[in-house]
Structure 1
Amino acid sequence: MSLSGRSLSTLKNYSRHMAQIALYYNQLPTELDEDQVRDYLWMLQKKTNKPSKSSFKHAVYGLRLLYRLTGRDDRAIRLPSIPKVHKLPAVLSKQEVKALLKAPRLLKHRVLLALIYSAGLRMQEVCRLEISDLDFDRMQIHIRQSKGRKDRYVPLSQLMKRGLLSYLSACKPHYYLFNGKEYGSQLSRKGVQWLMQDAVSKAGIKKKGICVHTLRHSYATHLLEDGLDIVSIKELLGHSFLETTLVYLHMAGLGRKAPFSPLDTLYTKEA
């Protein structure tokens, strides 16, 4: 994590868009007037079709942050608000998770996907995991400097311990738990994304919107369905606000009754 509580990848996206604006006008973004900014955003919105698309959002949010850091009043240049799309994320069933975790041919890939699901990890968290972050005695994993610059500990499952010990013995990774192509390097996020999509395809999962983060969503949803309270899930996920975690209440099948009208029970024998 870095400036203003934003992740390094987010700041890189902001910087890239500020560079694109500078190249477009051959001027620094801080030197542009309102008409120039509005014209550029109009062009970008036409290109991306929707103002909620990531390229448009990063341009607007990047300008807001730049203006704030340079002491410029961003209200002087009216930046558009970004509509929030309230869309529930995709979640896998337990049977689909089982199929997914069996799909990869390599032990390393099976263990990696299982670890993401078993501990509800973000993709960058599993890429940055070091071997020393595993505590087999206390049965926990140390997640360092995650989103929001917060460390946290998550439980290490017994099944995951067995898988990790087999993997460490067979593959002998160096420093990072999952190495990239170069000796001692960490596995890239693109590599994790590729193996996830390959596993989804091999497992025959047809749901739309499945990505690496789906395993984290499935972890939280399954914990909730298995009876763990929402506050504990918030802490395990490393969320700063409970509101972020509450989305899983809409996704979990908690055995609730089907919606009905009170009129149907108004004239029962008991009433």
Structure 2
Amino acid sequence: MDIAVRQATDDEVGFFQEHGWVRLPGLVGPGDVAALRERAVAHVTARGAAGPGAVERGTLVDRAFGQSRDIGESDELFGALALAAEMGRNAVRLLHGVRAVRVQVTNLLVKEAGEHGATEFHQDFPWMPMDRSAMLTFWLALVDVPADMGSLRFYSGSHRHGLLGRSFTRVGDDQLSQHPWLKELELSPPLDLRAGDASVHHALTVHGAPANRRDSPRLSFTVTYFDADALYTGTPYRQTDGLGLEVNRPFEHPRFPCLRP
């Protein structure tokens, strides 16, 4: 099963490396996005109004969006996109200096109007059990996502400031409250995304999203890639606990398939 993915341009690669995020218009074509959207709607409907994979509704993350982690393992179409050769090539070029990448996680996300609030500004990497931060996430719009539906915003250049700590651990602990100086950085403009457009952000880039102000749900698919040479640190993490990974060895396990350019 093939999904056509376009190659990122040199300008897009350069923008990402400077700012820590980039918009990729038309990353996936209309026909493939329509098929992915159909699958996503079916998943959301099957899971009910609480959103896909909604558990522990009291957590701060669940108040921001519903998610179905590892959707690429249970749905072959989403899996095919995550493993598409061009996705791997794009990830390698964007990260710069890595020879290959592994899939860290796939996710189907839904932000319901009136149910989910804003996604607090945070970094993705502070939770991870990898020994290096060469990691990024593709955020693909499965429906048209105007800015007031909750498209992501990014603090440009924040990926250059290293590990800033965990968020989503308690109310009011977002990156801006922990590090007020972040407001000195440029905040990306509100992005109006069409279905098939994607944004990409580095795992150290501080990012967040407003609440969905539209009547329909915001549907998106994400896939995160990391440096294939990264070593396992043994840090407790639900996704890796119990897999038998060896500390200070690469993530050589079927859960983390490797893509080479």
TM, length-normalised to structure 2: 0.22
More strand by share: 2
More helix by share: 1
Higher relative contact order (CA 8 A, sep 6+): 2
